[in-house]
Structure 1
Amino acid sequence: MKKQILKASSEPTKVGVLLVNLGTPDRLTVTSVRRYLREFLSDSRVINLPRWLWLPILNLIVLVVRPRKSLEAYRKVWLEKQDQSPLLYYTQQLTQKLADKRADIELAFAMRYGQPAIAQQIEHLQQKGCNRLLIVPLYPQYSATTNATVVDHVAKHLKSLVWQPTIRIADPWFAQPNYINALKRQVEQAIAEGYQPDKILLSFHGLPNASIDQGDPYYYQCLETGRLLTQALGKNSNEVLVTFQSRFGPAQWLQPYTSETLEALPEQGVKKLLVLTPGFVADCIETLEEIAIEGAEEFIAAGGEHCRVLPCLNDSELGIEVMDAVINEGIAGWHKA
């Protein structure tokens, strides 16, 4: 098929912003879940094993067993009215609300795995006349397994273009004041509503220890987010805990594990727990099913009395403020050129 010819805009500095989230099945079916998992788990940035070793395991074991199990988890959190996963819905809403606020830029969103695809959305922004693009991987803390694979995929598409737009990649915002303040305000709102937790737990997605040994800064950025939030709340490190969830496979992952911590806290006298998932911009299966449902049940079964899990910033006013600041920092100077 002949490639569509894209014409450069007569406007010298039209700016486009592409928000990129992880991805999601597009239907609540085994086939859709398997298709998503195949693309996700085939990425060597995500599973850093020799292809000759991993691909047979993926195709002969994981993609046979895991799709049905994952489907049941998605079923618990699927938005029936919209017939969408929460991740897709909230990413759409976030993009639309930012677009409503920002008449000076063109906004779109893409998924690294699944639809809408990165290449498709870059072309969409170019058709809108954008010759400068800010790519925003929707992860506050940088990791090669998330941010870098977005950049890889953007670069892969750019190689196919004769006319390449100017590209910037947004910085991670793990220490940005707007972000820390938004998390702080979430906690303060819960307390103002009468919920007085014995401890606060910050659950971040886990990574294999080997990734950190190879130079991935993710672990240290999570700790810095935790430190800054603890400081902003006027608390100490015994009152605000940082843990890591979503372990996959037999390797050692970042610790302490969220699941083990939830089971151990009641024995330490913690009866009321407040949980945040600051590494996720939008609620998804990991925040809603793994933490808000399964994690809360683990805490109660171990002797806890109440576990309140706060939503991600999603498309809330706080979330809009954070992303607006990220965009402003990323496009600084472009409208002046």
Structure 2
Amino acid sequence: MASTSHSVVSELVQPGEGRLGHAPGDHPPVPRSRVGVVLANLGTPDATDYWAMRRYLNEFLSDRRVVDYSRWLWQPLLQLVILSRRPFASGRAYRSIWNQALDESPLLTITREQTEKLAVRLEAAFGDRVVVDFCMRYGNPSTESVLRRLQARGCERILFFPLYPQYGSPTTATACDQAFRTLMALKWQPAIRTVPAYFAHPDYLEALAASVREAYDAATPRPEVLVASYHGVPKRYLEEGDPYYCHCRETTRLLQERLGLDDEAIETTFQSKFGPEEWVGPATVERVAELARQGRKHIAVVSPAFAADCVETLEEIQQEIRDAFLEAGGETFTYVPCLNAREDHVAALEAIARHELAGWL
């Protein structure tokens, strides 16, 4: 620190900011104290070419929360086999849904829109004392870059908000891990809170139910079965204490109550299986085909675990899973979009954030 014999200035400011204070004249500028809110989503490649996809998949599949096999076995397989082929297939999938106007993935577009709408709501309540931003666990904007940017803007307290209604080790936990890794490298750590699973929050459930009601009202004929499709995890995770499977089942039950559906009119399934071991089920792609063969010709699929439409919903559900249903004899397939930047969804995010910010703002 500079010697106190230096002259004292009355304000320490960043451009456009200011707070009265007293410090030596050569003290670095200090921004006004603020609270940050960070929406954290899974991630996105920067482009759809081979090398961009390889960088993204390497970061994703090297995460021990996602694939926890021995590094000595997994990394040679990943680097020499999987990453030599999978970027091509993943690139094709992303190209089929890519936001060409902005040259980015829909997940990035939607998460930015959610952030902008949440910022308007929180700033209306708290003014410029709160700063809202977003980050990605994999790809850009990185968690580290966003947390450092918020700290540079004076955020001495940060609410870290993983956009996963159901807690899962490969989603919520790894997002928080990355935030904590950033704190480990900071000389001055901001105080940080993390938002817990919110699958049972009434505002989230009402927004989810409203999205289904709207899809049903627009569908002709009315769907006979609502399939709630969640991203799958290995069955071993459930046995080792990960609550994700139970949170998913409970989400479906709570949604069923709000919609007033009979047991035969709603199901829980899981998608996106990867690797050789047993995963929780039933598998969405297999179950929708079975429903068609059983004579359930009109179904709807909703994805309660995804806060924003992404490759798993726009490509996997709307293409692969839809095709499986129709090829098995199904007739109408209704996809219920993710909650995305719906006003009732953003209102739910605001309610959750304000609850977790209690005592800070």
Same fold at TM > 0.5: yes
Following the alignment from structure 2 to structure 1, what is the Cα–Cα distance between the partners of residues 337 and 86? Answer: 26
User: Percent identity over the alignment?
Assistant: 43
Answer whether contact 2:215 2:334 (CA < 8 A) is retained.
Answer: no
Which residue of the other structure, out of 171, 182, 189, is the alignment partner of 1:164? 189
Per the TM alignment, residue 191 of structure 1 is displaced from its structure 2 partner at its CA by 2.4
AA aligned opposite 2:67: I
Following the alignment from structure 1 to structure 2, what is the Cα–Cα distance between the partners of residues 117 and 31? Answer: 18
Alignment of 1:291 onto 2:295:
no
Per the TM alignment, residue 65 of structure 1 is displaced from its structure 2 partner at its CA by 1.1
AA aligned opposite 2:69: L
Answer whether contact 1:198 1:239 (CA < 8 A) is retained.
Answer: yes
Answer whether contact 1:243 1:255 (CA < 8 A) is retained.
Answer: yes
Answer whether contact 1:201 1:275 (CA < 8 A) is retained.
Answer: yes
Answer whether contact 1:203 1:277 (CA < 8 A) is retained.
Answer: yes
In structure 1, the residue matched to 2:330 is 304
Following the alignment from structure 1 to structure 2, what is the Cα–Cα distance between the partners of residues 259 and 290? Answer: 9
Number of residue pairs matched by the alignment: 329
In structure 2, the residue matched to 1:75 is 95
Following the alignment from structure 1 to structure 2, what is the Cα–Cα distance between the partners of residues 183 and 126? Answer: 34
In structure 2, the residue matched to 1:255 is 281
Q: Deviations over 1:64-90 (max 9, x none)?
A: 110001111111111111111111110
Following the alignment from structure 2 to structure 1, what is the Cα–Cα distance between the partners of residues 29 and 159? Answer: 19
In structure 1, the residue matched to 2:241 is 215
Q: Deviations over 1:119-167 (max 9, x none)?
A: 1101111121111100011111001111111111111111111111110
In structure 2, the residue matched to 1:138 is 163
In structure 2, the residue matched to 1:23 is 43
Alignment of 1:88 onto 2:113:
no
Following the alignment from structure 1 to structure 2, what is the Cα–Cα distance between the partners of residues 272 and 97? Answer: 35
Q: Unaligned stretches of 5+ in structure 1?
A: none
Alignment of 1:218-229 (within 5 A): 218-229=244-255
TM-score by length of 2: 0.89
In structure 1, the residue matched to 2:22 is none
In structure 1, the residue matched to 2:205 is 180
Answer whether contact 1:94 1:314 (CA < 8 A) is retained.
Answer: yes
RMSD over aligned Cα, in angstroms? 1.3
Q: Could you list the structure 1 runs, at least 4 aligned residues long, displaced by more than 4 angstroms after superposition.
A: 5-10
Q: Which has the higher contact order (CA 8 A, sep 6+)?
A: 1
Following the alignment from structure 2 to structure 1, what is the Cα–Cα distance between the partners of residues 209 and 42? Answer: 25
Structure with more strand by fraction: 2
Q: Deviations over 1:265-290 (max 9, x none)?
A: 11111111111001000100000100
AA aligned opposite 2:356: G
In structure 1, the residue matched to 2:307 is 281
Classify the secondary structure of the residue corresponding to 2:96. helix
Alignment of 1:199 onto 2:225:
yes
Per the TM alignment, residue 7 of structure 1 is displaced from its structure 2 partner at its CA by 6.6
TM-score by length of 1: 0.95
Following the alignment from structure 2 to structure 1, what is the Cα–Cα distance between the partners of residues 115 and 101? Answer: 20
Following the alignment from structure 1 to structure 2, what is the Cα–Cα distance between the partners of residues 53 and 7? Answer: 50
Following the alignment from structure 1 to structure 2, what is the Cα–Cα distance between the partners of residues 10 and 197? Answer: 54
Per the TM alignment, residue 194 of structure 1 is displaced from its structure 2 partner at its CA by 4.5
AA aligned opposite 2:83: L
Alignment of 1:268 onto 2:288:
no
AA aligned opposite 2:50: V
Following the alignment from structure 1 to structure 2, what is the Cα–Cα distance between the partners of residues 293 and 327? Answer: 34
Alignment of 1:126 onto 2:151:
yes
Answer whether contact 1:8 1:131 (CA < 8 A) is retained.
Answer: no
Following the alignment from structure 1 to structure 2, what is the Cα–Cα distance between the partners of residues 50 and 190? Answer: 44
Answer whether contact 1:86 1:284 (CA < 8 A) is retained.
Answer: yes
Which residue of the other structure, out of 51, 55, 62, is the alignment partner of 2:75? 55
Following the alignment from structure 2 to structure 1, what is the Cα–Cα distance between the partners of residues 28 and 232? Answer: 41
In structure 1, the residue matched to 2:120 is 100
Answer whether contact 1:275 1:308 (CA < 8 A) is retained.
Answer: yes
